[in-house]
Homo-oligomer: A and B are copies of this chain.
Amino acid sequence: MADSELPTRPKPEETKEAAPAEGGDSKNASKNALKKAAKEKAKAEKAAARAAQEKAQAAAAEANDTAKGLYGPIPETADVISTTRFSELSEEYYEKEVTVVARVDNARVQSAKLAFLMLRQQGQKVQAVIAAAEPISRQMIKFTGGLNVNSIVQVTGIVKKPEIPISSATISHLELHIRKVYMISEAAQMLPMQVKDAERPPPTEAEEGQVDAEGAPIVTLKTRLDNRVLDLQTETSQAITWISSGVAQLFSEYMIKSGSRWIFTPKLVGAATEGGSNVFEVKYFKRNAFLAQSPQLYKQMCIAGDMENVFEIAPVFRAEDSNTHRHLTEFAGLDFEKTFQNHYHEVLEFAEDLLVFILTQLKERYAPQIATIQKSYPKAGDFKLPKDGKALRLNYMDGVALLKEAGVDMSEQERFENDFTTAMEKQLGHIIRDKYDTDFYVLDKFPMAVRPFYTKADPKDSRFSNSYDFFMRGEEIMSGAQRINDIKELEESMRSKGLDPTQEGFEDYLNAFRQGCPPHAGGGLGMNRIVMFFLGLPNVRLASLFPRDPQRLRP
C-alpha cells in the first residue's frame, strides 16, 4: 500500500548511539557504515546485560541514596508545577531556582562526581550541570549523565552565571545547576538521525552517509525528510514553521480587513475541467471523482453567487510528475477573488498591497526567526522590498525588453509563442534587483496566448490580456487575472483554446455566467513558495511540514 521504495524503519547504519552510559563524547560514537550494523547489535545486547546488572546494583545502593526521590520517573503529584521557558531566561534569573521541561540534546558523564546535560527546547539550548554534593548522589549523577538523547525531562535547578560563556549553547550566558531531574518521555537509545546532525544545511545526495570535517555524519535532505519529526526539532525548522504560519495568518488578516469572506470550496470534484493530465483520480463510491487543482472555477462561482470578495486557504493538488526543487504534488494555496467597479487594476493593486503587507509584516513580526534561518541559509541574503511600500509593476513586454537588452534571445516571446522559461524568469529577477533594488515585483499584461481560457483579453489589444504574475527573487509565486464574465466571450475563448464548452463538467461553471456575473479578478498564491523565496531556501520541501512529491508519500 505505502511507498515501498522508502525505508519504513530507521536503518541501523543511519543511527548513532545516543548518550553512551559511561563517559565519552557522543560525537565520536558509531559512524554510519553498513558493516557496523552487526557490531551495533552485539553492543546493544551487551548494554542490555550491563543495564540489568546496574539495576541490581542500583537497588542495593538505593537504601544509601541521599538523592532518593530527586531523580527517576516523574512522580505523581497533585501539585501544580510551574515551569519556565528558555525564552524567558535572562540574567535576572541568576541564583534563582527554576523548573524547565526540555529535551536532552546531549548527556555526558565527566567523572563519578560530575555530569553535563545539554537541554533543548524548540531548538534553543541551555547547559545543565550536576555535581556531587549533598544531597546529590553518585547514582543521581550516573542517571543524569546516562539519559538517552532526545528524552524529555523535567529539570529543577539554580540558574548560574558560567565562568566562561557556553559557546555550544544557544543561551550561552547562563547554566543550570541541577537539583532534580525527572523523566517525562524517554527516547529510544537508537535514533535514526540525530537532531544536531539536521542542524546543518542539507548537503548533496553524493555526500549522504559521509562525515564532515569534525567527524559528524552528514545527513541529506532525504534522510531529514524521512525523519521529519526529528528534523522539525531543530531551531531552523522551528523558525521556518513559524514563517509558514505567519504567511497564512497575514493573508487572512489582510483579506478579512478588506471585508472578504472566508470560503471552503470542494476539493472532490466531478470532472477534470482544468487540464485532464495533471489531475488525481479518486474512487468515489461507485464512480470516479477528481481532486481540485485549484479553487478557480468555484471561487468564480462564489462571485457569480454575489459574494463579491472571497478568499480561501486550502490544499491544492497537482498530479504533475515534476521532481524539481520547487514543485510539490500538494501545497497550501492562498486564493482570492474580488469584484471591481471600473478597472481590473483595482484588484491588481489590492493584491500588490497584500503581498507588500505580508512581506513587510513578516520582517517585522518574525525578525528573530528570520535571523535564525539566515544562519543556516545565508546565501540568498535579505529579501529586498520596494522602499516606497508600493510594488514595482512592469508590463510583460517590459520584461521581454529587459532580457533582450541583456542579450537573451527573446524571439519566441516576442512572437507570443511561449511564456518566459524558468531560466529567463530568474535572470529577469537579477536584472530587476540590480535596476530597481527589489526582490518582489509584478508583471502585467501577459500575452493571451499563454494564459488559461477564463482570462479576459485586453479590450484595447487582444494580443494581450488583463492578467499578471507576481515574482519573488525571480520565481513565480502568484498568477492572476481579470476573468471573462460574459458567457459568449467565455465560450468563444474556450473554443479558441481547443476546449469544448459542452464538455461534461463545465455546465455548472458556464451556467453561473448565463445567470449574470459581475466583472471580477483574482489570483492564487503558493504559500510554500512564498516561504521558500522569502527565506531563500534551496528547496520547497523545507517549507512544507510533510512534503508530497511524485516519490514521497511519507511520513
Contacts and interface: CB of A to CB of B under 8 A. Distances in A.
Contact of A9 (B487, B507, B519): B507
Given A2-B504, A507-B9, A518-B184, A103 B553 contact: no
Contact of A262 (B121, B229, B249, B555): B249
A493 interface: no
Interface string A493-508: 0000000000011011
A545 B514 contact: no
Given A8-B504, A262-B249, A282 B288 contact: no
A516 B187 contact: yes
Which of A330, A341, A545, A554 counts the most B-chain CB atoms under 10 A from its CB?
A: A545
Most chain B beta carbons < 10 A, residue from A103, A305, A321: A305
Interface residues of A, number: 110
A351 to B, nearest CB: 19
B298 A545 contact: yes
A430 to B, nearest CB: 31
A23 to B, nearest CB: 23
B268 A329 contact: yes
Nearest to A508: B555
Given A81-B342, A282-B282, A285-B321, A238 B101 contact: no
Contacts of A315: 264, 266-267, 314-315
Interface stretch (A47-55, A204-212, A239-247, A370-378): A239-247
A485 B183 CA distance: 13
A250 to B, nearest CB: 10
Interface stretch (A111-119, A269-277, A410-418, A449-457): A269-277
Q: Can you tell how many copies of this chain the complex includes?
A: 2
A263 to B, nearest CB: 6
Contact of A1 (B152, B188, B270): B270
Contact of A268 (B121, B256, B548): B548
Interface in A279-324: 280-285, 287-289, 291, 298, 301-302, 304-308, 313-315, 317, 319, 321
A554 B297 CA distance: 12
Interface of A: 1-3, 8-10, 76, 80-81, 83, 101, 103, 121-123, 150-152, 184-188, 191-192, 227-233, 237-238, 241-242, 244-245, 248-249, 252, 256, 261-272, 280-285, 287-289, 291, 298, 301-302, 304-308, 313-315, 317, 319, 321, 329-330, 332, 341-342, 459, 485-487, 504-505, 507-509, 511-519, 527, 544-546, 548, 550, 553-555
Given A266-B545, A266-B546, A266-B548, 17 more contacts: A3-B287, A81-B342, A103-B516, A122-B307, A152-B516, A184-B518, A186-B516, A187-B515, A187-B516, A227-B511, A249-B262, A264-B545, A267-B267, A268-B317, A282-B282, A508-B554, A508-B555
14 contacts: A1-B271, A187-B516, A229-B512, A244-B264, A264-B544, A266-B315, A268-B280, A282-B283, A284-B553, A298-B546, A313-B313, A315-B315, A508-B555, A509-B555
